[in-house]
Amino acid sequence: MLAEPGFAADVERWRMYLSQLFDLWPEAQPPEDLIDRIDASLGGVAPARRGRPFPWPLLAIVSTALAACLLLVVALRPGGPPPGGAPMGPPPITASAPILVAALGDAKAPVAAAFDPTDGSIRVTAAPDAPATRVAQLWVIGGDGVPYPLGLLARDATLLVVPAADRARIAAGATLAISIEPEGGSPTGKPTGPVVATGALAAV
């Protein structure tokens, strides 16, 4: 998906098509022995008794959020697809640090973020709604548990360039958070308003 923008767009389009099926039927729990019966029908060894059935609709929602993060990387990183969906070949393979992605907030409507260590840029798809006199501000929280400001978010997609001195804080496992602050951002350097979305960074 990272190497083929057209294929990545196809995957996301089919995810959206299939996700609509969840609205057509009420949720139902499958029989507890369903997976064992499937394994047996395929000639496999029956596994030990499992716990509660996995919530497959939740898995689909989370995977869609991850796909949105990956599409953000493909569409916005240097060498991504040109405007208007014009065809292009696979980008050249170069040695670079892995991209870090996160899905912030509600799994049904996540805010996707992607950090590129090669140039220190962080891209966010959109900001949560904020009152007219407030703004959304992005933070990173590392192992020390202290939030550090990264910048203010526009209502649409935002591109921020993180100062070189702060880039080491943005690593796999760190948490991105969005808070609602007064115009101009937090006056204290720490979140003062409600934190409305969080998500952990992972390397891709």
Query: Is residue 176 in some structural domain?
Result: yes
- Token output for 160: 């921020």
Where a domain ends, among 50, 85, 120? 85
Which residue in the block uniquely carries the two structure tokens 């496992």? 173
CA-closest candidate to residue 179, choices 125, 105, 72, 103: 105
pLDDT tens for the 204 residues of the chain, in order: 766 777 877 887 787 777 777 667 777 788 888 888 888 888 755 555 555 555 555 555 556 666 666 665 555 555 444 444 444 444 444 445 788 998 888 766 778 899 998 889 999 987 778 888 899 999 999 888 899 999 999 887 888 999 888 888 999 999 999 999 999 999 999 999 899 888 889 887
Where a domain ends, among 85, 112, 137? 85
Query: Is residue 94 in some structural domain?
Result: no
- Token output for 45: 């060894």
Where a domain ends, among 85, 113, 139? 85
pLDDT, tens digit, 9 for 90 and up, residues 122-164:
999 877 788 888 999 999 998 888 999 999 998 878 889 998 8
Do 107 and 198 fall into the same domain? Answer: yes
Domain around 70 = 5-85
Do 193 and 106 fall into the same domain? Answer: yes
Torsion of the alpha carbons at 112, 117, 119 and 124, rounded to the nearest 10 = 10
- Token output for 146: 């202290």
pTM above 0.85, yes or no: no
Query: Is residue 90 in some structural domain?
Result: no
Do 144 and 56 fall into the same domain? Answer: no
